[in-house]
């Protein structure tokens, strides 16, 4: 994105350590390529939490409607889903990426693949390692988009931090990830791989409706990811986090209690909960897991708030995204590194995080535009 903007000024070269461009972009498109979200700008900015003030100007300058117009300019019509998320009609990334790369080529942008950055050889001279050996490349300005530390097989493992020893770095942490739960062997062996549908998760004062997936280790899925930052930080500070799962968010506690007044008779607890409360087998398993763990036997109250003790966050290499990276104190308002005039940074390498729902790609696009505009202004000052 930065290359596209800067190509108007002259020659632009993109170095990529992978054999082909946009690998994480293509991975993002496996689920439909959620480009951005259609909610109002204040609501969208709030999704970035404590990072919102640092991202606000960049996103306001390149907001969701600008991203949609950009995609449609590449021939990719978009639509708004029922949840407010914005997708291309093609529901995948490859058509958009092909059109984008073609337009970049027509604009004179060149790509050099299988190139790893090794550091500096002078102010703006990059030392690179490619299939033909080491080389150097002198630039007038540099935009770094080195990525975070999640999904390293797609090209970024976060090791670039060692190449910027004079830049403040925040520790890497997983974001939008699953968690380890304190399952019994029986529950794990019987229900791993089964979805919990039409539920609501509560942690602290936040309630998130949606779905989750039981895994051998614990829980993952969209509703879990929406709470992941708070859960992760609680575990880091206290050693655990107690998540509550409402298995019937469509019923008030009173309505559910009324259903459970039906005589159980000789029915097993599983059959009773299936018929009277309308619970799925995995939901019933969760209730039984809580009861065996010492939960109070008030079934209506328990079904509305099944406690699940989370003991660890999932590994960063399997997380959808990451927090940490280049600290905001190391950048000026133009996304230029304070320690390296003429060097700019964008995307996941910056210390921000957001839930899934289009916010991750929106943040990457917007910071790329901001970094490119910063580089353009700096280059004009130097001329």
Cα–Cα separations (whole angstroms), residue 301 to 242, 271, 290, 347: 16, 19, 12, 44
How high is the pLDDT of residue 297?
Answer: 84
pLDDT of residue 281: 97
98's CB contacts (< 8 A; 6+ apart) are none
Q: How far apart are the first and last CA of the chain?
A: 23
Give just the sign of the alpha carbon dihedral 173, 178, 182, 184. Answer: negative
Q: Which residues, given as ranges, of the chain have pLDDT below 70?
A: none
Q: What is the dihedral of CA 39, 60, 149, 342, to 10 degrees?
A: 170
- Predicted local distance difference test score (pLDDT) of residue 123: 85
Element (H, E) at 37: strand 36-37
Tell me the fold of 2-174+320-382: FAD/NAD(P)-binding domain (3.50.50)
Q: Is the pTM of this model over 0.75?
A: yes
Note whether 244 and 202 are within 8 A (CB): yes
Closest to 201 in 3D by CA, of 242, 259, 142: 242
Structure confidence at residue 122 (pLDDT): 86
Quick check: 203 and 231 in contact, CB under 8 A? yes
Longest CA span, the chain: 87
86 bridge partner residues: 36, 80
Give the per-residue pLDDT at 28.
87
Listed in sequence order, the residues at least 6 apart from 258 whose beta carbon sits closer than 8 Å to its beta carbon are none
Contact predicate 335/370, CB 8 Å: yes
> Taking the alpha carbons of 54, 57, 60, 63 in that order, is the dihedral positive or negative?
negative
Structural domain boundaries of the chain? 2-174+320-382, 179-313
């Amino acid at each position: 994105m930065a290359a596209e903007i800067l190509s108007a000024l002259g020659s632009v070269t993109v170095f990529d350590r992978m054999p082909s461009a946009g690998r994480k972009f293509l991975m993002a498109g496996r689920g439909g390529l959620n480009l951005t979200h259609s909610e109002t700008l204040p609501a969208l900015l709030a999704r970035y939490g404590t990072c919102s003030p640092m991202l606000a100007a960049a996103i306001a300058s390149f907001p969701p409607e600008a991203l949609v117009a950009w995609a449609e300019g590449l021939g990719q019509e978009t639509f708004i889903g029922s949840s407010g998320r914005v997708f291309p009609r093609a529901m995948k990334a490859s058509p958009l990426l092909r059109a984008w790369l073609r337009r970049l080529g027509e604009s004179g942008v060149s790509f050099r693949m299988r190139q790893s950055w090794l550091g500096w050889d002078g102010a703006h001279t990059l030392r690179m390692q490619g299939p033909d050996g080491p080389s150097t490349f002198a630039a007038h300005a540099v935009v770094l988009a080195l990525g975070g530390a999640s999904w390293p097989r797609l090209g970024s493992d976060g090791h670039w931090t060692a190449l910027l020893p004079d830049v403040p770095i925040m520790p890497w942490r997983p974001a939008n990830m699953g968690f380890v739960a304190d399952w019994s062997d029986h529950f794990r062996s019987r229900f791993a791989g089964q979805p919990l549908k039409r539920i609501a998760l509560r942690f602290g004062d936040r309630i998130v409706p949606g779905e989750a997936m039981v895994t051998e280790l614990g829980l993952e899925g969209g509703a879990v990811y929406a709470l992941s930052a708070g859960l992760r930080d609680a575990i880091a500070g206290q050693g655990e986090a107690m998540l509550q799962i409402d298995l019937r968010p469509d019923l008030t506690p009173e309505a559910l209690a009324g259903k459970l007044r039906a005589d159980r008779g000789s029915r097993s607890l599983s059959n009773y909960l299936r018929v009277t409360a309308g619970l799925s087998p995995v939901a019933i398993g969760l209730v039984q897991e809580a009861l065996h763990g010492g939960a109070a036997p008030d079934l209506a109250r328990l079904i509305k708030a099944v406690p699940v003790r989370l003991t660890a966050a999932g590994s960063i290499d399997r997380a959808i995204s990451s927090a940490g990276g280049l600290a905001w104190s190391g950048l000026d308002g133009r996304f230029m590194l304070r320690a390296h005039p003429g060097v700019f940074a964008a995307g996941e390498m910056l210390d921000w995080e957001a839930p899934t729902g289009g916010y991750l790609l929106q943040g990457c696009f917007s910071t790329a535009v901001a970094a490119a505009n910063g580089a353009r202004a700096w280059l004009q000052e130097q001329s």
